[in-house]
């Protein structure tokens, strides 16, 4: 199993790498085309703003490599958002266009933003990607979030969560999947999801 964590230049890579290592898989943090193309699984992490992340991806020559990926790819937090079409953050930012959804600020009147902390996630098991990622994870399990923007709970969503309004806790299109929460910070449920994605034992 060759698992690659994309060096996006805008993410805390160490915590994700440690979580993957605990599952018995030694991940490679890289931005090299040959490593990405030969990977069995690809992680796209992200923190910060969509604009900064897309700038960093472009500077590293990663957008086309990501778009060409044929392997299962998992975006995490901002990494999920980057898979969408466009974010309304900072006046509007074009994204990778791999999932047919836009990214919008959460509509959560009376609640603090960012949405930070534990919240319940409900997979949509009619989706094959949800069946993969959430195998042996009960509906309503708790995961850890830190975000102000998200995809809507629309056709691309494979799991939902509510914070003021429903939003996509996970989204997918073909081999491209994303989770808005941080599985590497979500205890046993997060480890189970990462293991499901990797095909490893949790």
Active-site residue flag, 10: no
Catalytic entry in 80, 89, 141, 184: 184
CB atoms under 10 Å from CB of 157, counted, come to 25
Catalytic entry in 26, 68, 77, 115: 77
What is the helix (H) or strand (E) element at residue 73, kind and residue range? strand 73-77
Q: By CB neighbour count within 10 A (0-12 exposed, 13-18 middle, 19+ buried), where does 32 fall?
A: middle
Which residue has tokens 């974010």?
87
Catalytic entry in 80, 89, 141, 182: 182
Q: By CB neighbour count within 10 A (0-12 exposed, 13-18 middle, 19+ buried), where does 46 fall?
A: buried
Active-site residue flag, 182: yes
Active-site residue flag, 115: no
Dist CA 118 CA 116 (whole Å):
7
Instruction: Please list the active-site residues.
Output: 77, 182, 184
């Amino acid at each position: 199993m060759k698992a690659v964590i994309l060096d996006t230049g805008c993410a805390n890579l160490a915590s994700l790498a440690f979580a993957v290592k605990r599952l018995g898989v030694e991940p490679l943090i890289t931005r090299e085309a040959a490593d990405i193309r030969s990977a069995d699984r690809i992680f796209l992490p992200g923190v910060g703003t969509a604009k900064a992340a897309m700038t960093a991806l472009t500077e590293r020559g990663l957008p086309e490599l990501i778009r060409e990926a044929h392997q299962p790819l998992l975006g995490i937090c901002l990494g999920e958002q980057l898979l969408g079409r466009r974010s309304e953050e900072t006046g509007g930012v074009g994204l990778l266009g791999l999932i047919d959804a836009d990214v919008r600020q959460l509509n959560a009147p009376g609640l603090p933003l960012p949405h930070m902390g534990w919240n319940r996630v409900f997979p949509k098991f009619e989706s094959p990607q949800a069946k993969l990622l959430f195998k042996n994870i009960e509906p309503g399990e708790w995961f850890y979030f830190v975000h102000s923007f998200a995809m809507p709970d629309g056709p691309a969503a494979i799991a939902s969560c509510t914070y003021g309004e429903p939003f996509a806790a996970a989204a997918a299109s073909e081999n491209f999947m994303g989770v808005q929460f941080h599985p590497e910070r979500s205890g046993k449920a997060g480890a189970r999801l990462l293991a499901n994605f990797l095909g490893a034992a949790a």
